[in-house]
Amino acid sequence: MNMKRRPKLRPAAWDGAVVGLVLALAVGCGVLLRGNGGSGEMAVVSINGEEVDRFSLAESAGKREYLANGYVLVVAVSSEGVRVAEAGCPTQDCVHTGVISRSGQSIVCLPGRFILRLAGGTERGNGPDVDAVIG
């Protein structure tokens, strides 16, 4: 028997790439499938009723700024959840809402007509838009 093996093509070399690819797909698809162990919360930002941004809490630690009807809102994302850290609006209700971290919770800024809503993860039937294609 002449069983040639080619030591240069080591499966181990591919493992890293495959794992990376699978992880990337899992992150993207996990949200769509909604069964990702509760760590797949997505923040959905709407201004004037239109979705302007959507990001994963797990991957978006840091600050984001939005201009909502002339008011600047600074959204802070951390391992605890997401909150409006600063806002130029007169009522500051959005700032006072504090941190939200679970699906179905939301932060609303009425003057800015700004809504930040959490979706995915442990969400229970909160609308078909969760299954929308991301990006």
Nearer residue to Zn ion within complex by CB, 58 or 95: 95
**Shortest-Cβ-distance residue relative to Zn ion:** 109
Q: Taking a C-beta distance cutoff of 8 angstroms, is the pair 114, 82 a contact?
A: no
Which residues here bind Zn ion, judged by CB under 5 A? 87, 89, 94, 109
CB of 87 to Zn ion, least distance (A): 4
Residue closer to Zn ion, measured from CB, 31 or 82: 82
Mind giving me the DSSP string for the chain? ------TTS-HHHHHHHHHHHHHHHHHHHHHHHT-STT---EEEEEETTEEEEEEEGGG--EEEEEEETTEEEEEEEETTEEEEEEE-SSS-HHHHH--B-STT-EEEETTTTEEEEEESTT--S--GGGGSPP-
**In the complex, minimum distance from the CB of residue 14 to Zn ion, in angstroms, rounded to a whole number:** 50
In the bound complex, what is the minimum distance in angstroms from residue 71's beta carbon to Zn ion?
Answer: 7
> Nearer to Zn ion by C-beta: 112 or 121?
112
The nearer residue to Zn ion, 42 or 87, going by C-beta atoms, is 87
Closest separation in Å from C-beta 126 to Zn ion: 23
